[in-house]
C-alpha cells in the first residue's frame, strides 16, 4: 500500500512538472477580445493563446483594414496577478500596404513588423486582463480571428488637388495670357505650319505669330 502511495505521489509530481513547463499560466489560455483608441476611431483587437505555446493575434483599424500575426509566446510571472508575455513573431499578413487615388496607379510599399514584442499583463479577473492600458475580455470565438486577411491591402485615397494655374500679372493690372502654340490659345503656330505644309504656302510673322500665306 505504501508503494502505491509513493508511486501516486511521483506520478503527480511528474504531471505537475509537465504543467509548469507550459509556456504560460492557465489563466491566459484561450481567446480574448478588446478595443483601443486609434487614429480616427476605435481599433479592435483579438488574440488566442494555445497550450502548445503558439498564439494568433488580429488587429483591425477604424478603416476596416485587418492585420494578423502569429508565432510563439512565453509567459513569465513578475508579481501578484502580473506577468510578462514575450512574443516571437513567425509570420504576419498583409505583406504590402497600397494606396490608390482615382485616375492614378496603385502605389504599394512593404509592410514589416518587429519580430519580437512584449506585453506587461495585469490579470484583473479570470475573464479579464489588461496590457498597456488596453482591456481584453475572454471571448470563446472572436470573429476577428476568423477574418481572412489578404497578402496586399489597397486603401482608397482622394486624388491629389491639381494646382490652379494663374496668368501672370504685369504692372498696370493687365494680365498676360500664356502663349501655347498649337493649342488654339493666342498664337496657333503649329496649325499654321501644318496648313503651309499641305498647301505649299509661305509662313510669315504677323503680330508676333506665324501666319500661312497661300502660294
Rounded to whole angstroms, the Cα distance separating 215 from 203 reads 10
| pLDDT at res. 48 | 97
| pLDDT at res. 57 | 97
Instruction: Give the start-end residues of each E strand in 14-160.
Output: 30-38, 41-49, 54-60, 66-79, 82-93, 96-100, 107-110, 116-125, 128-131, 134-138, 152-156
Q: Are 55 and 46 in contact (CB under 8 A)?
A: no
Per-10-residue mean pLDDT of the chain, 215 residues long, equals: 35 32 64 90 95 96 92 93 94 92 88 92 94 93 93 83 46 38 49 58 63 64
| pLDDT at res. 204 | 64
Pull the grid cell for residue 25: 499560466
Q: Are 214 and 197 in contact (CB under 8 A)?
A: no
Q: Is 22 helix (H, G, I), strand (E, B) or coil?
A: coil
- List of domains in the chain: 27-156 (2.40.128), 182-215 (no CATH)
| pLDDT at res. 182 | 41
| pLDDT at res. 69 | 96
Amino acid at each position: 500500500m505504501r508503494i502505491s502511495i509513493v508511486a501516486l505521489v511521483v506520478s503527480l509530481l511528474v504531471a505537475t512538472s509537465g504543467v509548469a513547463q507550459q509556456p504560460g499560466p492557465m489563466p491566459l489560455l484561450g481567446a480574448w477580445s478588446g478595443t483601443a483608441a486609434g487614429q480616427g476611431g476605435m481599433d479592435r483587437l483579438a488574440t488566442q493563446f494555445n497550450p502548445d505555446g503558439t498564439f494568433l493575434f488580429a488587429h483591425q483599424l477604424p478603416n476596416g483594414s485587418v492585420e494578423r500575426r502569429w508565432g510563439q509566446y512565453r509567459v513569465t510571472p513578475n508579481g501578484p496577478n502580473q506577468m510578462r508575455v514575450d512574443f516571437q513573431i513567425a509570420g504576419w499578413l498583409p505583406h504590402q500596404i497600397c494606396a490608390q487615388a482615382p485616375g492614378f496607379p496603385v502605389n504599394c510599399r512593404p509592410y514589416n513588423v518587429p519580430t519580437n514584442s512584449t506585453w506587461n499583463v495585469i490579470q484583473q479577473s479570470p475573464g479579464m486582463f489588461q496590457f498597456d492600458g488596453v482591456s481584453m475580455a475572454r471571448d470563446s470565438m472572436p470573429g476577428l480571428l476568423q477574418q481572412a486577411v489578404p497578402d496586399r491591402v489597397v486603401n482608397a485615397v482622394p486624388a491629389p488637388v491639381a494646382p490652379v494655374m494663374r496668368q501672370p500679372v504685369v504692372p498696370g493690372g493687365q494680365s498676360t495670357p500664356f502663349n501655347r502654340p498649337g493649342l488654339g490659345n493666342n498664337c496657333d503656330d503649329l496649325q499654321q505650319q501644318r496648313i503651309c505644309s499641305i498647301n505649299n504656302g509661305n509662313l510669315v510673322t504677323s503680330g508676333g505669330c506665324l501666319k500661312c500665306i497661300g502660294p
